[in-house]
Amino acid sequence: MHRRQKPSASEHKRDLAAHGGALSMSHNDTRSFFNFSQLVLSAGHLKSPPVLKHSKITYFEVEILDVQSKKQICIVDKVPPSSTLLDVKHKFHKACPQWYPSRVGLQLERNGPYLKDSVNIQSLAVSSIITLYFTDLGQQVSWTTFFLTEYTGPLLIYLLFYIRLSTIYDQVESTKNFRHPVVHLSCFCHCLHYIRHLLETLFVHKFSGGHTPLKNMIKGCAFYWGFTSWIAYYINHPQYTPPSFGHRQACFAALAFLMCEAGNHFINVALAHPSHSGLQACFPSPTYNPFTWLFLLVSCPNYTYEIGSWISFTVMTQTLPVGIFALLMVIQMSLWAQKKHKLYLKRFYPEVRRKAALIPIIF
C-alpha cells in the first residue's frame, strides 16, 4: 500500500501563486470589459458622421431689352428666386441711374401689360434667363401727392372767389350788392366736400399702386381747378341770382348734399377695412350704419353718393357751370363703376352678380 506524499510547503506556495495570478487576470479582464460596455452604452448608437449637403441656390439672370428697338440695355445677374420685380428695378436703377424704379415699366411681352412690383421673379421664369421689355414711364408722382394736389386747388380757388378779390370782381358792385344766404351755404358745402377728400386721402384710402405719371396729375388738376374757377365765379358774382324756390330749395338740397357726403365717407371707410372670412376677403356687406345699406343694391355706392352730392349742389346753386360739371361727373363715375364692377364679378361673383354697378336698374 502506497502512501500519497504530501506536497512540500514550497510547492504549495507555487501552486497558490499560480492559481491566484490566474484569478487576478480573469477579474481584471471582466472589469475592463464591463467599463468598456458602459462607455459604449452611454455614447449611444455607433453612427458614421453625417455627410453635410451644401444646398445649391439657383440664381436668375434678367435681360432687359428696349421695348421699341429690342436692343439690350443691361443684364441684372445673381437675382435670388425670392426676389420681387421691385428688387430687379432697384438693381436696374444701380446699373442705369437715370431711370429710378417708379419710372421703369417692365413687360413680359412687347404689347403685354406692365408687371406689378409685387410679382415674384420665380413665377416669371421658364429658364435661368428671364427676358423683360423696358418702357420709360416718364416723370412719376405718388398717388398721395396726386390727390392732395388735385383737391387742395379747388379748396383754395373757391375761397379766393368767395372773398371777392378786387382783381376778379368790380369792387363797387361787390360792396353794394347783398349776398344771398345760399352763397355762404354753397361755400360751406364746397369746402366740406374737398376737405373730406383731403382727410380721406391722408387717413382712409389705401393706394395699391405707388406712382402715376405726372401728366395725369396735370390733366386732373386742369379739370378740377378749371371747373372750380368757373363754378366759383358765377356763384360768388355780385349779380348772382338765387334759386327759384329760395330758401326751401337751398335747404332741402343742402340736406341731401350732407347726407351724400356722409354716405360717401362711410362707404370709403368700409372699403378701406373690408370684412374677412378665414383667409379669403369678402365683399363689404351692410352694417347697422344706414349709409352702408346701399351695398345691397349697387357694387360701387361711393360713386353713387358722389354723383348725389353734385346733383344736390346743382339744385342748391341752380347754375349752369355746376350742372355741366355734374353731368361730366356722372359720365366719369359710370365708366369707373363699370370697370370696377367687372373686377368685383371676378373676385366676388356670388355676392355681386345681382347688384347694379352704380344706380339700381339703370347702371
Q: What is the pLDDT of residues 180-214, one digit of tens each?
A: 999 999 999 999 999 999 999 999 998 866 789 99
Alpha-carbon distance of 212 to 150, in angstroms, equals 13
Domains in the chain and their CATH numbers?
60-138 (3.10.20.90), 139-241 (no CATH), 243-362 (no CATH)
- What does the DSSP 8-state code read for residue 4? P
pTM score > 0.85 for this model?
Answer: no
Q: What is the pLDDT of residues 66-117, one digit of tens each?
A: 999 999 999 999 899 889 999 999 999 999 999 989 999 999 999 899 998 8
Sign of the Cα pseudo-torsion (208, 211, 214, 218, in order): positive
Query: What pLDDT score was predicted for residue 268?
Result: 95
Burial track 61-70 (b if 16+ CB lie within 10 A, e otherwise): ebebbebeee
DSSP H or E run through 161: helix 143-162
Q: What is the pLDDT of residues 318-348, one digit of tens each?
A: 999 999 999 999 999 999 999 999 988 888 8
Q: How many C-beta neighbours within 10 Å does residue 5 have?
A: 6
Alpha-carbon distance of 115 to 122, in angstroms, equals 13
**What length is written for the chain?**
363
> Between 235 and 360, where is the model more confident?
235
Q: What is the pLDDT of residues 156-173, one digit of tens each?
A: 999 999 999 888 898 877
Q: What is the pLDDT of residues 245-291, one digit of tens each?
A: 999 999 999 999 999 999 999 999 999 887 544 445 677 888 899 99
Query: What pLDDT score was predicted for residue 276?
Result: 45
Query: What pLDDT score was predicted for residue 34?
Result: 53
Mean pLDDT for all residues in the chain: 85
Q: Check if the beta carbon of residue 57 is closer than 8 Å to that of residue 79.
A: no
Q: Check if the beta carbon of residue 125 is closer than 8 Å to that of residue 79.
A: no
Cell triple for 341: 364692377
Mean pLDDT over 293-302 rounds to: 93
Q: What is the pLDDT of residues 113-147, one digit of tens each?
A: 999 888 999 899 888 899 999 999 999 999 999 99
Kindly give the pairing relationship between strand 140-142 and strand 211-213. Answer: antiparallel
Residue 54 confidence (pLDDT) above 60: no
Q: What is the pLDDT of residues 21-53, one digit of tens each?
A: 444 444 555 556 555 555 544 554 545 555 545
Query: What pLDDT score was predicted for residue 23?
Result: 42
Query: What pLDDT score was predicted for residue 140?
Result: 92
Alpha-carbon distance of 312 to 258, in angstroms, equals 9
**Predicted confidence band of residue 149 (pLDDT cuts 50, 70, 90):** very high
